[in-house]
Amino acid sequence: MREPLAAAVEEALRTLLREQGAGEALPEFALEVPRQKQHGDFACNAALVLAKRLGRPPRELAARLVQLLTARPGLVARAEVAGPGFVNLWLAESRWQGLLAAVLARPEAFGRSDARKGQRVQVEFVSANPTGPLSIGHGRQAVLGDCIARLYEAIGAQVTREYYFNNGGRQMRVLGQSVKARYLELLGRAAPPPREALEDPARPWPEAVDGLPVAFPRDGYQGDYIRDIAARLREEAGETLVDEPPEGRFRAEAERVIFDEIRATCRALGIEFDVYTNETTLYEQGRVEEALRDLRARDVVYDAEGAVWLRATALGLDRDRVLVKSSGEATYLLPDVAYHREKFRRGFELVVDVQGADHYGQFPFVRAAASALGCDAERIQLVMHQFVTLTSGGQTVKQSTRRATFVTVDEVLEQIGADVFRFFMIQRRPEAHLDFDLDLARETDWTKNPAYYVQYAHARSCGVEREAERRGVRAPDPASVDAARLERPEEIELLRKLAEFPEVVLRAAEAHEPHHVAYYLRELAGLWNPYLQDARSHRILSDDAGLTAARLALARAVRAVLANGLALLGMRAPERM
């Protein structure tokens, strides 16, 4: 709808410019959908943009644009001057009715575009270190990243979904130590730490209990999954691993088992990664050392206090950051910089990092250092999401990853399934805190659960078509449907809503905000479900063959758009519920 209207505005502007003797160079103007319906289908700021150039009052120019735009029948039914010089526009109903054929001509493609055709985009998300199962916070990131990838694919990009994890450093050392400690406990060679010591950080950590040493690290990982890994190692190797260092087989086995479970969880969410990469590989390939050397060559690295520092203040940031500690161990910042350089070396034109709020402080330094190495900082974009609060029975469920007192994605999926999980995780903008109401997510009443509300709208559309087939009513030919029969206000409103979908998809992709699609689907379902409920006012299947064909075509168009939108959120479009 926007394209023909923009063309009409351009033509009107050319006429106005000729009348003013001001040449034909068109100003850049915007056509926006007003927030309030009473302000029209679109609002245009062309008169405001042009006023200064022509030295004329913007309302005067807007009034002339109104005359020119309404002089052409069939496109603009009504136009008004508003405020300081905006032009509010109402399209002719025939334009909305004509949309139906466009949707039904290629229903699976409606909403897709070539806005980013051929652009190579990498979306890195989840990227949780293999130290335990995925928490619901990781689950939000997983759904968010996958939806962003789907949106970029919908606007023509070639997308690579990538998972990067740090399988070195302190966290992994603690993981190996935790597994070995549980292994020694199972052999009776060590004692588990007392519960009160685990629960109270202020308590002294015991060196021994009942004459046995406490091998478990104070900040160790306490979940049952650690005991399960240790039990498997005891079964496989007996006591032969007593002298094995924690960084050896203990850590390797823990990484393998946990990462297999992470992959399985992602598959349960409908997510498959194209590439897995890790920190160790960067070291083995010499990429980390190379990045440090090149940063030093660009004079953005210096030595102080026994450590190696990034001269971040010279790159526009408020403080410098350590790249290599005085112990000789690199911080997470250095391999992250090397990794981002590799992204561009691999040919990606746009890099999207989906990360939790706890990584927010790291990103500016990664971006600045990568820019110093020649990467285009504008093509490294961060999507930061806030934390998730899980509530049940009106109470907040406390979460602690280290103490393993957290609810995992797998546990929630067992209760509500992937579709509901994904919808609930994507309902709010990424930077907003998310309250995940587990009781509402468990609700099976489609009128209460927003995920089912949208899916049910699709299933009901399929039911209409099945009923038509049962009655022997043939599916309408899109080319011969008289869409002008759709003249009731609620039908025009549905057509208007369908027309918004391509723009919603493009806006959601460009802004990295999939929640726009979720909002849109709820709004569309909110128009369609009541329409189907009120069968007395507008029966879809009636004795009027022309009206039946038009309303069946509307049902097919609504079904197509609902299915396309659900697919962008990674959800099923069920035919029956």
- CA dihedral 258→261→265→268, nearest 10 degrees, is 170
CA distance 517 to 498: 12
Structure-token pair, residue 420: 């509901």
In sequence order, which residues have a C-beta less than 8 Å from that of residue 201 and are 6 or more positions away?
A: none
Instruction: Say if strands 275-278 and 158-165 run parallel, antiparallel, or are unpaired.
Output: parallel
Residues sharing a CB contact under 8 Å with residue 521, sequence separation 6 or more, in sequence order = 454, 562, 565, 566, 569
Taking alpha carbons only, the member of 328, 267, 255, 253 closest to residue 292 is 328
Angle, alpha carbons 90-95-101 (nearest 5°):
150
d(CA 290, CA 83): 59
Tokens standing for 250? 């203990």
Cα separation values, 315 from 15, 307, 369, 397, 457, Å: 50, 19, 8, 42, 52
CA angle 252, 123, 251 (to 5 degrees): 10
In order of their start, the domains of the chain are 2-91 (3.30.1360.70), 170-267 (no CATH), 445-568 (1.10.730.10)
Contacts 24+ apart (CB under 8 A), 41-44: 41/1, 41/89, 41/90, 41/91, 41/496, 42/1, 42/2, 42/5, 42/88, 42/89, 42/91, 43/82, 43/86, 43/87, 43/88, 43/89, 44/9, 44/86, 44/87, 44/89
Rounded Cα distance, 238 and 222, in Å:
22
| pLDDT of res. 38 | 82
Strands 120-124 and 158-165: parallel
Q: Crossing angle, helix 545-568 and helix 489-511, to 10 degrees?
A: 20
Residue 273: Cβ within 10 Å count: 21
Residue 254 CA to residue 178 CA, distance in Å, equals: 10
Mean pLDDT by groups of 10 residues along the chain of 577 residues: 84 90 85 84 91 90 92 83 92 76 91 96 95 93 98 98 88 94 97 89 90 94 93 96 96 95 97 95 96 97 96 96 95 95 97 91 95 96 93 78 69 96 96 94 95 97 94 85 88 91 96 97 96 80 92 95 98 96
Strands lying side by side in the sheet with 307-310: 301-304, 307-310, 321-324
Cα gap 484→356, rounded to integer Å = 50
How many Cβ atoms are within 10 Å of 334's Cβ, its own excluded? 26
Residue of 173, 177, 216 whose CA lies nearest to 194: 216
Rounded to whole angstroms, how far apart are CA atoms 68 and 46?
13
